[in-house]
């Protein structure tokens, strides 16, 4: 692979170095441009790694239109550098309001993309709800988050999906790494940087023991935190218990936690009845969905006043003298805090590689798919895993012929019957 550029003015240079799978696609498709003639819409948190994904789509020949998936996480230097390139158009800027974010997504959709790569399903939902003529022409899409998949399942159930969508989130190469390791490490890193406070020795309450919660809890314990998990699914709760975390309901956890991190995809996981019990100095962070996991209205209503003791920390002063510290205004702490840079680049390399192959497969290989939500074919998942191992210089074994046969036959010569 060719060496990466070290142009000091190129905001993507550092991320490019840690995204070798995306660079390998740029190299492989830079000449043949298999996506030429297609317009790909791309919504994501806009920072350096998604910037490399956008340039990879462009390098493979696509016209790329991009917008944020969350208005507060945009890095302006990345947007400006990409927008200056021919064939890439930004519908984004740093510091957008929620209304401007909505308007920009609509403007993007009016450009009639052929394919939509989404993060949270906002673009796909908007094209169906408000641009039906555009939706009717879209060839397909890909969705990278758990919350987005939930919305797509609801759309499929209602029978309103107009095109096929690959559920990129549900592929092992995405959620085993991005959700577990990416969210785990980047949430704790950003909490530590924002608060300048130690995790070790703290009672860390992780709400939700799905892929993200599991990663956060495992890594918090690795840092010396005393982990507590809350759940609504008895099997996940049992899994957390068997993994060695304390499991309790939120009412009990509220009384003992020093640091609360929510990763459920659900709303109002921390709410009034919990704020009433939390200890003075408790830290509240959301790593799950938008800004809905902590009931911000209830927190505001319960407090007498607020202050900002540190950038990225809003302190709520309760009438009884307790102070609750909310990070990143209740938005995703790993993506929207003042020091946050999102997931580590190596992890996003894999996620965006899956998004890239989703677009490539539907646009270039053209499987005959009816509108609906589809799992990414296993061959694509394996191919990205193999490419990742190659970039890491890691080799694995091939099954011998006899081993292969053993996995395919039901009559085993060495069985006793």
Ligand X SMILES: NC(=O)c1ccc[n+]([C@@H]2O[C@H](COP(=O)([O-])OP(=O)(O)OC[C@H]3O[C@@H](n4cnc5c(N)ncnc54)[C@H](O)[C@@H]3O)[C@@H](O)[C@H]2O)c1
Between 164 and 208, CB nearer to ligand X: 208
Q: How far is the CB of 249 from ligand X (least distance, A)?
A: 9
Residue 210 assigned ligand-binding role: yes
Please provide the size of the chain in residues: 417
Distance CA 215, CA 206 (A): 10
Between 290 and 374, CB nearer to ligand X: 290
Between 264 and 314, CB nearer to ligand X: 264
Between 208 and 225, CB nearer to ligand X: 208
Q: How far is the CB of 118 from ligand X (least distance, A)?
A: 12
Q: How far is the CB of 62 from ligand X (least distance, A)?
A: 25
Q: How far is the CB of 231 from ligand X (least distance, A)?
A: 5
Residue 212 assigned ligand-binding role: yes
In the complex, which residues of this chain contact ligand X (CB under 6 A)? 145-147, 175, 178-179, 183, 207-213, 230-233, 236, 263-266, 269, 287-289, 332, 334-335
Q: How far is the CB of 405 from ligand X (least distance, A)?
A: 36
Between 62 and 278, CB nearer to ligand X: 278
Between 23 and 175, CB nearer to ligand X: 175
Residue 271 assigned ligand-binding role: no
Q: How far is the CB of 17 from ligand X (least distance, A)?
A: 21
Residue 289 assigned ligand-binding role: yes
Residue 257 assigned ligand-binding role: no
Residue 214 assigned ligand-binding role: yes
Annotated binding site: 210-215, 231, 287-289, 334, 343
Annotated binding site for NAD(+): 210-215, 231, 287-289, 334, 343
């Amino acid at each position: 692979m060719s060496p990466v550029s070290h142009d000091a003015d190129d905001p993507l240079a550092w991320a490019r170095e840690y995204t070798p799978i995306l660079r390998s696609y740029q190299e492989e498709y830079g000449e043949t441009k298999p996506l030429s003639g297609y317009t790909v819409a791309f919504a994501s948190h806009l920072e350096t790694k998604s910037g490399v994904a956008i340039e990879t789509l462009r390098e493979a020949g696509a016209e790329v239109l991009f917008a944020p998936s969350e208005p507060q996480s945009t890095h302006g230097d990345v947007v400006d550098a990409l927008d200056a390139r021919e064939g890439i158009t930004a519908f984004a800027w740093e510091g957008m309001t929620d209304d401007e974010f909505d308007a920009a997504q609509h403007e993007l959709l009016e450009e009639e993309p052929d394919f939509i790569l989404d993060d949270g399903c906002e673009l796909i939902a908007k094209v169906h709800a408000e641009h039906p003529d555009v939706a009717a022409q879209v060839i397909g899409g890909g969705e990278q988050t758990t919350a987005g998949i939930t919305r797509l399942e609801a759309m499929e159930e209602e029978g309103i999906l107009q095109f096929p969508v690959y559920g990129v989130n549900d592929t092992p190469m995405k959620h085993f790494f991005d959700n577990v390791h990416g969210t785990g490490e980047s949430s704790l890193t950003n909490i530590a940087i924002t608060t300048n406070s130690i995790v070790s020795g703290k009672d860390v309450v992780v709400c939700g023991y799905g892929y993200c919660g599991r990663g956060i809890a495992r890594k918090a314990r690795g840092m010396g935190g005393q982990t507590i998990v809350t759940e609504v699914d008895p099997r996940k709760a049992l899994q957390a218990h068997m993994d060695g975390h304390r499991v309790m309901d939120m009412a009990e956890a509220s009384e003992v936690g020093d640091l609360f991190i929510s990763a459920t995809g659900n709303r109002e996981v921390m709410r009034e009845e919990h704020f009433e019990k939390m200890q003075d100095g408790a830290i509240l962070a959301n790593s799950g969905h938008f800004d809905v996991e902590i009931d911000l209205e209830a927190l505001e209503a319960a407090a007498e006043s607020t202050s900002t003791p540190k950038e990225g920390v809003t302190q709520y002063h309760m009438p009884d003298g307790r102070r609750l510290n909310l990070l990143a205004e209740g938005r995703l702490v790993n993506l929207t805090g003042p020091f946050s840079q999102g997931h580590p680049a190596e992890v996003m390399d894999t996620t965006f590689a899956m998004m890239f192959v989703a677009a490539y497969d539907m646009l270039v290989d053209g499987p005959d798919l009816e509108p609906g939500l589809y799992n990414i074919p296993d061959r694509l998942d394996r191919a990205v895993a193999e490419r990742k191992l190659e970039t890491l210089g890691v080799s694995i074994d091939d099954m011998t012929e006899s081993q292969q046969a053993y996995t395919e036959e039901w009559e085993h010569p060495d069985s006793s019957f």
